[in-house]
């Protein structure tokens, strides 16, 4: 034990030396940003920094003028040029704990001697302050002169070599062509190259050199696999999941947003537009469907549907989540600190925070929402193929309706027709019928009702499933923007109540009707509005709504697709505003005609007649009878206005072609996927500073805005909306956006960014290892029109990226993590790639791009004792079939509170919050998963089949295993191990046919013995388990 | 060693603090790398507790029916809780529309138990028998009033997702004391009242922003106890050995070529996995437990996945020096039908929890094992919905509730903290959730203010900016 600890101390110092390698270069002046500010920020700023509330002794060290001035005690913290007279040096350097800074009570450790020396040197050299590097715009500087210009392949390389020269280090030799191809393909596709690709590329590279490399990159960038791979990393940042999170964690539908991301990368959407679409696609002029789908970025946060939570508390959380995510994703500043108080290290005030908050605080959303489906606002988001079918159907409907109008115009009713129209109808008898036949105002059939509360109108329980039909005639006195027609709903005056707005209601909204079925309005309701119903005032119209539960539902939730609306006897187009109702709604008494209760109760101005409610979903035929029983006598008496003529005409015809086409169109619209989006409230919500960050402690009002002094001015003429914010973020001279983006892309290739803290470019973040390179990349990226593919092409073709990755002994103490980039990257593959690679080399991987998330194999019983009951969709894992079992992991259903174990075992975050980089760990659970998870054992069997088929000699077969999985030939000593293991396994299975059969399973085929199947399956698994297989080198 | 108070010294705990303070993110990264290649683990932490068994009662057990007798509720049954007591405190949306909040007496009798005379409900007869071992905290309080934030707060120190769990912090702070088993194990129980209950979340045993190897490992009652533990059919133990020999040889060749220490670490992880394949089935195989054990824990302990079986398993894990066992029962959310449902969950948990204490005690392990019994909050002293003696419910209540702890480093047979006559507010000895967490860490020899991790430029700790060790209950 004692010996171990000693060893440990030694290692620790080695690591310190390693860290120093990226810090000060020996013998050169101290750099404030790189060497000094991190120390001050970490140890001093908490009490002597930007946060005025916590500032001690009125002294601040984050500004030179105050740090070099006299403090309250009369001492001067920093005397430039004279460290010995500087109080700062005395206080941090002393061994006397009673005066030492930081004080013991702060729990911040004393400075080590090296840090004290750095401060001394800095003060001796004049104590120059610099603004924080990340807060001034990136500038392209001339590449430094380098020792070996022939090494340079791209404009990235001089920056890297220049730094190595300064350290007296040489870069590593170039990696072999096959190594580079595997590295590049894993980076750009998330999949390994096939062996034939590797062989062909090796030949091509030998003949054509650079040209071959360039073409290989171009091929990779043109494949749809590229967009999938790029989307993979973005899912963590954007905290994408297929469930809402929190303890109900039920299913949501956001895969249309995920597919938009894949498409955006594949079509190389310029990154500034990638930002703008996600932040403010809905605010662009005439936004396209894609641009609206993109705004789902800001709806990917968790949504809590736990009964009884306080709405505002969680609504505020969602807005804060957007601020945090935008902060990490693009600003590179951890804004969260400023939510409760002024930022301790970075000059972001609490007010700044809430001004950013104000941009995202203006959504028609609720804290408690998302119980069984998407939370409003959402839109129908047809896939491209659905969009095509929609357009075709719309055109057909349009054409047939014109034809129908012509036919109507030409129609002259004959005597027989009139007789038929006069024949009595036999409508089904309603369970509740109100005609107000003793009323004083004339109706469509006898007297009509004026707004009234119905006494004792017992309807009784609706049948299970909640089916019903509601029908009435209405005549509005004047245009009305929103008025109740029939209310069986209780708008309890307490809006926080869990049963506020429970019931059923039909409303008139402008020219449209709206049906509400609700447990709690609006969050837990189905709200469906007609589109183009054209219900004008001063005319009698018939309106009907029908709810018919679907027979084939797998989850118990009610669905908006069960609702149909009819106006004047014809089904009308609808749009769904809310669709998050766990079970059927019931009619709440008292029933009201033209009235409703509640704080915002409205009243219908006009007449209503012939109200009927059925406790069943009437077939359309019956519904037509109901309409015609009133409409035809009425129309026959009228002067045959076009509208009434239409009623008569249609009553005589069987269903027209137009009607059939409309039916198909509506059916298609009902099955469209939806996706959550951002939508601004018409009347903006006033944002206030929240004291201590608490939702119930509002302070001063603030308007939307950005920390302009810190991060650059608001672009002229831009609105103070999310769109303006996007324009500001994508200003060519914005100090952080492009840096943060190129840094995260760099991280994707090298394992860590030039700034390792890729989520934090603030003063507490790590300084860049190659500041001039970061700036050059950022500026170049912006100049290129934010061209991602171009940037990535530059990276993978650079000499820096093309280096071999072997660790050089002389670098071990010097730069173990390769921050100086003296070798190629070594990175354990992310969870998704480990699974995808196994499927790919086994020939199992499905190739479909996009679509709803799928459920491949997951251990049974994983949710047992953990998730909520089955009343919530997304709480059971109904394993898919066919290709769904083998799709890329990007498409695996992501249950936020309990993601697939093959993802979390290999370090994927749960995506409850935005994550900009994953930790990489090395655990026994990973070993177990790779050895035993069915997806890997199945892949091993498939690979065994390939090598058995491909060659007949053992040696050739073990070679093939290496080629398939590792994209290289084995070394002789490796072949020796493989053959030895093969022999041992063969011996072991020889007398155990039963065991061999179990390993081979159903895959066994062809002329090979079970023994061979079992042995090669085990060997294939062995190769899949190699460190090299799951590591990019 | 005096633990974290010493600013320098070659202990793992000091390193944790120092790495975060002294080396910044670079230091942490290095720590992780070193750690996986065998940083010395603390087999004997300097605290009095070497391990923790946390019996979490998810849903919110009713303190006024179980631990905190309130005769005033009976005397003033049906009366409105006075505004002087209510003080405008926020309530959940489930009772926000209620016109009144009437005092709802407990229908269960309390009586003094043990030498110490701790008053406990008749629903907890077995717990009463070990009253002299308990340290009952009656004035715990939480800010949260809903399950997700409250349980997340209790188990991660923050109401919002994203932080490491208590067990992950302990694993991070102390490492493992067992070479063949995970250091942080999670056990989920099937409650008798039915499979449903409030959902639990992987974040409750997750690693948050700590390296993910600190996350808890669930042990499952059926299928593989640890996911993917079993070798596939046809791969016997000796074949797995052949496989691993080949794998290690090839990995070692790669290691010597590339000089990457991660490869050596991976070889070790495969060996650990191989050992786990033997040790976990041994752990789960309770066939050697004598009958008296089932007399002690109850017959339900014979059924895998029950709370009783999990308590027995927790003891077996403790015997194997597993650092942190997180056990869950989730049958305590009694908004309705409390008189029918509460006794069911009390029966599920009462005997096994008490048995665990007795069993640890007789094996001499209670001295260095800390056992905690707690839910995320208590329940309201007023009725939710209609007030009927035979069928009432209680809503969530965070202003005060009861939990108990027992074992290493704690006073035994004490009751700490009191609540007002309605059981609505803490009136003395109040203990915040962060205080409970600080105390647990303290008992393990970890200073909650110094067990920190730097992430996104901030020093994070389990207790955020709060927390006080409840010294009054330390022995």
CB contact under 8 A, A5 and B10: yes
**Looking at beta carbons, which residues of chain A come within 8 Å of B220?**
861, 864
- Pick B211 or B57 by higher pLDDT: B57
The beta-carbon neighbor of B259 closest among A765, A806, A817 is: A806
A305 → chain B, closest CA residue: B148
Query: Which residues from chain B sit within 8 angstroms of residue A325, using beta carbons?
Result: none
Tokens describing residue A866: 């953990």
Residue A462: what pLDDT? Answer: 57
Q: Contact A910/B235, CB-based, under 8 Å? A: no
Distance (Å) from the alpha carbon of A1006 to chain B's nearest alpha carbon? 20
Which chain A residues touch B33 with a CB distance below 8 Å? 816
Q: Encode pLDDT of A799-841 as tens digits.
A: 999 999 998 888 878 888 899 999 999 999 999 999 999 999 9
Is the confidence at residue B30, as pLDDT, over 90?
Answer: no
Q: Inspect the interface and report whether the beta carbons of A985 and B242 lie closer than 8 Å.
A: yes
Average pLDDT of every residue of chain B? 88
Percent of chain B with pLDDT over 70: 90
E strand spans, A385-509:
432-434, 441-442, 447-448, 452-453, 468-476, 483-490, 502-509
Residue B384 contacts residue B94 (beta carbons within 8 Å): yes
Residue position matching structure tokens 């001394």: A120
Q: What gap in Å lies between CA B62 and CA B394, rounded to an integer?
A: 8
Say which CATH class A386-671 falls into. Answer: mainly beta
Tell me the chain A residues in contact with residue B201 when contact means C-beta distances shorter than 8 Å.
246-247, 249, 897-898
Q: How far is CA B121 from CA A221, B62, B69, B106, B399, in A?
A: 69, 11, 8, 10, 20
What per-residue confidence (pLDDT) applies to A457? Answer: 58
Extended beta strands in A162-226, E state: none
CB contacts, 8 Å: A369 with chain B? none
The residues in B 330-349 lying below 8 A from A, measured between CB atoms, are 330
Which of B457, B459, B462, B465 is best to mutate for the A interface (most A CBs within 10 A)?
Answer: B457
Q: In Å, what is the CA distance from A957 to each residue of A509, A844, A946, A999?
A: 73, 20, 9, 18
- Cβ-defined contact of B24 to A910 (cutoff 8 Å): no
- Residues of chain A with Cβ-Cβ distance to B238 below 8 Å are 988
Which pTM does this prediction carry?
Answer: 0.90
Helix (H) / strand (E) element for A292: namely: helix A289-294
Does position A887 have pLDDT exceeding 50, yes or no? yes
Per-residue pLDDT tens digits for A142-167: 999 999 999 999 999 999 999 999 99
Dump the DSSP string for A863-886: TTTTS--TTSTTSS-----GGGGG
Residue A635 to chain B, least CA–CA distance (Å): 49
Question: Which residues in chain A are contacts of B310 at CB distance < 8 A?
Answer: none
pLDDT band of residue B13 (cuts 50, 70, 90) is very low
pLDDT confidence of A494, banded at 50, 70, 90?
A: confident
Q: Which residues of A touch B234 (CB under 8 A)?
A: 994-1000, 1014
Check pLDDT > 80 for residue B327.
yes
Q: Are A14 and B46 in contact (CB under 8 A)?
A: no
Contact B273 A998 (CB under 8 A): no
From the list A860, A897, A996, the residue facing B201 with the nearest CB is A897
Q: Which chain A residue lies closest to B307 (C-alpha atoms)?
A: A865
pLDDT at A640 over 80: no
pLDDT band at B44 (very low <50, low <70, confident <90, very high): low
Name the residue in chain B with its Cα closest to that of A338. B458
Give residue A70's pLDDT: 84
Q: What is the pLDDT of residue A626?
A: 95
- Give the model confidence (pLDDT) of A724-755 as tens digits: 999 999 999 999 999 999 999 999 999 999 99
Q: Identify the pLDDT of residue B5.
A: 29
CB contact under 8 A, B21 and A1033: no
CA angle B251–B253–B256, rounded 5-degree value: 110
CB contact under 8 Å between B203 and A38, yes or no, is no
Give the largest Cα separation in chain A, rounded. 116
Nearest CA in chain B to A320: B160
Model confidence at A703: pLDDT above 90? yes
Q: Is the pLDDT of residue A67 over 90?
A: no
Place of tokens 């620790």: A12
Contact (CB, 8 A) for B32 and A921: yes
3-state secondary structure of A658: helix
pLDDT at B421 over 70: yes
For residues A928 and B226, give the distance between their C-alpha atoms in angstroms, rounded to a whole number. 9
Domain ranges of chain B: 50-222+304-439, 227-289
Q: How confident is the model at residue A1023 (pLDDT cuts 50, 70, 90)?
A: very high
Q: Is the peptide bond before A47 cis (omega within 30 degrees of 0)?
A: no
Q: Which residues of B touch A696 (CB under 8 A)?
A: 90
Q: How far apart are CA A874 and CA A896, in angstroms?
A: 10
Instruction: Find, in chain B, the residue whose alpha carbon is nearest to that of A923.
Output: B269
Which tens digits make up the pLDDT trace of A91-137? 888 888 888 888 888 777 888 888 888 888 888 888 888 888 899 99
Q: Does B50-222+304-439 carry CATH code 2.50.20?
A: no
In chain A, residues with a C-beta closer than 8 Å to the C-beta of B32 are 919, 921
User: By percentage, how much of chain A surpasses pLDDT 90?
Assistant: 70
B352 or A6, greater pLDDT? B352
- Enumerate the residues of chain A whose CB falls inside 8 A of the CB of residue B179: none
Compute CA distances B244 → A149, A977, B266, whole Å: 47, 12, 12
Distance CA A491, CA A503 (A): 9
Q: What is the pLDDT of residues A286-295, one digit of tens each?
A: 999 999 999 9
With CB atoms and an 8 Å threshold, state whether B250 touches A866.
Answer: no
By mean pLDDT, which of A16-25, A71-80, B15-24 is the weakest?
B15-24
Q: Where are the domains of chain A?
A: 25-130, 242-379+683-785, 386-671, 932-1032
Q: Lowest-confidence range among A36-40, A706-710, A1009-1013, B292-296?
A: A36-40
Instruction: Name the token pair of A562.
Output: 């069960």
Q: Cβ contact (<8 Å) for B22 and A112?
A: yes
Which residues 62-101 on chain B approach chain A with CB closer than 8 angstroms? 90, 92-97
Question: Is B376 an 8 Å CB contact of chain A?
Answer: no
Nearest CA in chain A to B39: A8
Structure confidence at residue A73 (pLDDT)? 78
The whole-angstrom distance between B1's CA and the closest CA on chain A is: 13
Among B148, B151, B380, which would you mutate to test the A interface (most chain A Cβ atoms within 10 Å of its Cβ)?
A: B148
User: Which pLDDT does position B17 carry in this prediction?
Assistant: 38
Query: Are A937 and B232 within 8 A, CB to CB?
Result: yes
CB pairs under 8 A between A and B: 331
> Within the 147-186 window of chain B, which residues sit less than 8 Å (CB to CB) from chain A?
147-149, 151, 160-162, 182
Tell whether the model's pLDDT for residue A228 goes beyond 90: yes
Instruction: Please answer yes or no on whether B206 and A492 come within 8 Å at the CB atom.
Output: no
Residue of A nearest to B449 (CA): A107
Sequence-distant (6+) residues with CB within 8 A of A952 are none
Q: Report the DSSP pairing between strands B51-57 and B369-374.
A: parallel
- Min CA distance, B260 vs chain A (Å)? 6
One-character DSSP codes across A583-650? S---PPSSPEES---STT-----EEEEEEEEESS---HHHHHHHHHHHHHHHHHHTT--HHHHHHHHH
- Long-range own/partner contacts, residues B420-423 (CB < 8 A, 24 or more apart): B420/B85, B421/B70, B421/B72, B422/B70, B422/B72, B422/B73, B422/B81, B422/B85, B422/B103, B422/B381, B423/B63, B423/B64, B423/B68, B423/B70, B423/B73, B423/B378, B423/B381
Residue A434 has pLDDT above 80, yes or no: yes
Q: What pLDDT does residue A411 have?
A: 87
Which residues 226-245 on chain B approach chain A with CB closer than 8 angstroms?
Answer: 226-236, 238-240, 242-243, 245
**Tens digit of pLDDT for each residue in A915-958?**
999 989 899 999 999 999 999 999 999 999 999 999 999 999 99
Residue among A248, A337, A1026 minimizing CB distance to B251: A1026
Give the pLDDT confidence of B376-414 residue by residue, as tens digits: 999 999 999 888 878 889 999 999 999 999 999 999 999
Query: Using CA atoms, how far apart are residues B92 and A716, in angstroms rounded to an integer?
Result: 46
- Of all residues in chain B, the one with the smallest CA distance to A920 is B211
The answer to whether B97 contacts A924, with C-beta atoms less than 8 Å apart, is: no
Q: Do B161 and A816 touch (CB under 8 A)?
A: no
Handedness of CA B171, B172, B176, B181 (dihedral sign): positive
Confidence category of residue B39, pLDDT binned at 50, 70, 90: very low
Helices B24-36 and B261-284: angle between axes, nearest 10 degrees = 60
The verdict on a CB contact (< 8 Å) between A927 and B450 is no
The DSSP symbol for B357 reads H
Residues of B in contact with A806 (CB under 8 A): 257-259
- Tens digits of per-residue pLDDT, B221-269? 988 999 999 999 999 999 999 999 999 999 999 999 888 888 999 999 9
Q: How far apart are CA B222 and CA A325, in angstroms?
A: 39
CB A460 within 8 Å of CB A529: no
Count Cβ atoms below 10 Å from residue B163 Cβ, excluding itself: 28
Nearest CB to B226; choose among A1, A336, A928: A928
């Amino acid at each position: 034990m004692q010996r171990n600890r000693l060893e440990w101390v030694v290692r620790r110092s080695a690591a310190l030396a390693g860290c120093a390698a990226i810090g000060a270069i020996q013998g050169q002046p101290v750099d404030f940003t790189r060497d000094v500010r991190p120390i001050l920020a970490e140890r001093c700023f908490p009490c002597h920094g930007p946060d005025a509330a916590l500032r001690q002794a009125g002294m601040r060290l984050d500004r030179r003028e105050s740090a070099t001035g006299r403090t309250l005690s009369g001492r001067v913290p920093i005397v430039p040029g004279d460290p010995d007279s500087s109080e700062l040096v005395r206080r941090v350097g002393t061994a006397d704990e009673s005066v030492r800074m930081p004080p013991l009570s702060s729990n911040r450790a004393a400075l080590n001697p090296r840090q004290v020396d750095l401060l001394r040197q800095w003060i001796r050299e004049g104590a120059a302050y610099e603004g924080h590097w990340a807060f001034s715009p990136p500038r392209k500087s001339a590449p430094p002169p380098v020792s070996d210009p022939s090494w340079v392949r791209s404009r990235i390389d001089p920056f890297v070599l220049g730094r190595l020269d300064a350290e007296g280090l040489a870069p590593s030799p170039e990696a072999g062509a096959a190594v580079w191809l595997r590295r590049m393909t894993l980076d750009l596709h998330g999949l390994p190259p096939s062996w034939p690709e590797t062989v062909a590329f090796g030949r091509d590279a030998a003949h054509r050199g650079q040209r071959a490399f360039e073409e290989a990159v171009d091929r990779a960038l043109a494949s749809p696999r590229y967009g999938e791979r790029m989307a993979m990393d973005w899912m963590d940042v954007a905290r994408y999941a297929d469930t809402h999170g929190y303890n109900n964690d039920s299913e949501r539908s956001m895969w249309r947003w995920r597919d938009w991301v894949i498409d955006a990368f594949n079509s190389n959407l310029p990154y500034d537009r990638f930002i703008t679409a996600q932040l403010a696609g809905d605010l662009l002029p005439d936004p396209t469907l894609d641009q609206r789908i993109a705004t789902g970025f800001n709806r990917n946060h968790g949504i809590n549907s736990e009964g009884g939570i306080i709405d505002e508390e969680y609504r505020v959380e969602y807005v804060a989540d957007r601020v945090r995510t935008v902060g990490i994703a693009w600003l590179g500043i951890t804004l969260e600190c400023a939510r409760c108080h002024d930022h301790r290290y970075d000059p972001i005030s609490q007010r700044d925070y809430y001004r950013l908050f104000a941009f995202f605080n203006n959504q028609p959303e609720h804290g408690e929402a998302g119980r069984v489906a998407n939370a409003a606002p959402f839109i129908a988001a047809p896939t491209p193929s659905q969009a095509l079918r929609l357009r075709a159907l719309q055109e057909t409907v349009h054409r047939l309706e014109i034809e129908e109008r012509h036919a109507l115009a030409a129609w002259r009713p004959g005597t027989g027709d009139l007789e038929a129209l006069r024949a009595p109808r036999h409508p089904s008898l309603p369970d509740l019928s109100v005609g107000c036949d003793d009323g004083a105002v004339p109706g469509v059939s006898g007297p009509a009702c004026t707004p009234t509360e119905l006494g004792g109108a017992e309807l009784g329980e609706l049948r299970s499933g909640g089916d019903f039909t509601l029908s009435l005639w209405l005549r509005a006195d004047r245009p009305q923007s929103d008025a109740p027609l029939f209310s069986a709903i209780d708008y309890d005056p307490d809006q926080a109540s869990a049963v506020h707005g429970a019931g059923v209601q039909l409303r008139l909204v402008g020219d449209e009707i709206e049906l509400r079925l609700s447990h709690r309005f609006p969050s837990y309701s189905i709200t469906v509005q007609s589109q183009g119903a054209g219900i004008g005032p001063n005319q009698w119209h018939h309106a009907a709504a029908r709810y018919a539960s679907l027979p084939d539902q797998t989850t118990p939730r009610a669905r908006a697709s069960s609702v149909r609306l009819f106006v004047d006897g014809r089904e009308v187009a609808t749009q769904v505003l809310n669709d998050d109702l766990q079970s059927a709604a019931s009619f709440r008494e008292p029933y009201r005609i033209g009235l409703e209760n509640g704080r915002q109760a409205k009243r219908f101005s006009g007449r209503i007649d012939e109200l009927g409610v059925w406790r069943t979903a009437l077939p359309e035929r019956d519904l037509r009878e109901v309409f015609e029983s009133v409409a035809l006598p009425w129309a026959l008496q009228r002067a045959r206005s076009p509208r009434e003529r239409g009623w008569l005409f249609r009553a005589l015809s069987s269903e027209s072609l137009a009607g059939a086409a409309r039916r198909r169109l509506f059916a298609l619209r009902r099955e469209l996927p939806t996706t959550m989006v951002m939508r601004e409230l018409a009347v903006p919500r006033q944002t206030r500073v929240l004291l201590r960050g608490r939702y119930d402690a509002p302070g001063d009002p603030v308007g939307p805005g950005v920390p302009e002094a810190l991060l650059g001015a608001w672009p002229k003429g831009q609105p103070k909306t999310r769109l303006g914010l996007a324009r500001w973020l994508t200003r060519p001279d914005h100090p952080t956006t492009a840096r943060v983006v190129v840094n995260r892309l760099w991280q994707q290739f090298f394992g860590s960014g030039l700034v390792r803290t890729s989520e934090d470019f603030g003063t507490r973040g790590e300084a860049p290892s190659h500041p001039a390179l970061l700036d050059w990349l950022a500026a170049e990226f912006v100049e290129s029109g934010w061209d991602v593919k171009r940037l990535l092409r530059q990276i993978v073709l650079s000499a820096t990226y093309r280096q071999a990755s072997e660790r050089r002994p002389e670098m071990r103490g010097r730069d173990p993590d390769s921050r100086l980039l003296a070798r190629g990257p070594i990175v354990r593959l992310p969870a998704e790639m480990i699974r995808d690679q196994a499927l790919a080399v086994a020939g199992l991987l499905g190739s479909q791009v996009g679509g709803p998330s799928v459920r491949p194999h997951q251990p049974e019983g994983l949710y047992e004792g953990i998730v909520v009951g089955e009343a919530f969709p997304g709480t059971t894992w109904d394993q898919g079939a066919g290709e769904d079992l083998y799709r890329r992991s990007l498409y695996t259903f992501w249950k936020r509170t309990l993601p697939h174990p093959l993802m979390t075992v290999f370090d994927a975050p749960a995506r409850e919050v935005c994550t900009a980089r994953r930790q990489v760990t090395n655990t026994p659970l990973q070993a177990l998963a790779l050895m035993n998870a069915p997806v890997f054992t199945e892949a091993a069997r498939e690979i065994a089949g390939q090598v058995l088929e491909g060659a007949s000699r053992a040696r050739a077969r073990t070679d093939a295993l290496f080629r398939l999985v590792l994209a290289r030939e084995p070394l002789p000593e490796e072949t020796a191990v493989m053959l030895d293991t093969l022999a041992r396994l063969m011996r072991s299975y020889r007398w155990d046919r039963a065991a061999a059969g179990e390993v081979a399973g159903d895959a066994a085929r062809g002329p090979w013995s079970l023994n061979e199947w079992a042995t090669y399956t085990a060997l294939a698994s062995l190769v899949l388990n190699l460190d090299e297989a799951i590591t990019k080198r | 060693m005096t633990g974290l108070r010493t600013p320098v010294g070659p202990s793992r705990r000091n390193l944790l603090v120092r790495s975060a303070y002294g080396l910044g993110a670079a230091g942490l990264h290095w720590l992780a790398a070193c750690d996986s290649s065998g940083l010395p683990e603390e087999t004997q932490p300097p605290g009095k507790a070497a391990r923790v068994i946390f019996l979490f009662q998810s849903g919110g057990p009713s303190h006024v029916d179980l631990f905190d007798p309130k005769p005033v509720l009976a005397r003033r049954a049906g009366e409105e809780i006075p505004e002087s007591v209510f003080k405008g405190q926020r309530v959940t949306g489930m009772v926000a529309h209620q016109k009144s909040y009437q005092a709802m007496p407990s229908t269960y009798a309390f009586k003094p138990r043990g030498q110490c005379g701790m008053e406990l409900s008749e629903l907890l007869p077995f717990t009463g028998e070990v009253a002299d071992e308990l340290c009952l905290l009656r004035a715990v309080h939480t800010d949260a009033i809903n399950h997700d934030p409250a349980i997340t707060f209790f188990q991660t120190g923050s109401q919002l997702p994203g932080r490491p769990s208590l067990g992950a912090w302990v694993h991070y702070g102390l490492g493992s004391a067992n070479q063949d088993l995970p250091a942080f194990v999670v056990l989920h129980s099937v409650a008798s009242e039915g499979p449903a209950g409030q959902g639990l979340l992987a974040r409750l045993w997750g690693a948050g922003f700590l390296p993910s190897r600190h996350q808890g490992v669930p042990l499952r009652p059926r299928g593989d106890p640890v996911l993917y533990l079993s070798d596939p059919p046809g791969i016997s133990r000796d074949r797995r050995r052949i496989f691993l020999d080949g794998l290690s040889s090839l990995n070692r060749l790669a290691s010597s070529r590339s000089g990457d220490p991660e490869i050596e670490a991976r070889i070790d992880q495969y060996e650990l996995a191989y050992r786990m394949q033997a040790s976990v089935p041994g752990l789960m195989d309770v066939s050697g437990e004598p009958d008296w054990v089932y007399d002690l824990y109850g017959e339900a302990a014979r059924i895998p996945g029950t709370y009783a079986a999990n308590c027995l398993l927790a003891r077996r894990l403790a015997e194997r020096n597993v650092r942190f066992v997180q056990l869950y029962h989730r049958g305590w959310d009694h908004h309705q039908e409390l008189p029918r449902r509460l006794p069911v969950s009390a029966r599920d948990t009462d005997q096994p929890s008490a048995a665990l204490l007795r069993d640890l005690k007789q094996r001499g392990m209670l001295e260095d094992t800390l056992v905690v019994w707690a839910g995320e909050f208590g329940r309201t002293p007023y009725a939710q919905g209609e007030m009927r003696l035979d069928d009432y419910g209680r809503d969530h209540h965070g202003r005060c509730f009861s939990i108990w702890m027992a074992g290493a480093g704690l006073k035994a047979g004490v009751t700490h903290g009191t609540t007002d006559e309605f059981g609505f507010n803490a009136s003395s000895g109040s203990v915040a959730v962060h205080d409970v967490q600080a105390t647990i860490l303290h008992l393990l020899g970890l200073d909650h203010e110094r067990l920190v991790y730097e992430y996104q430029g901030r020093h994070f700790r389990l207790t955020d900016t709060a927390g006080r060790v409840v010294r009054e209950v330390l022995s």
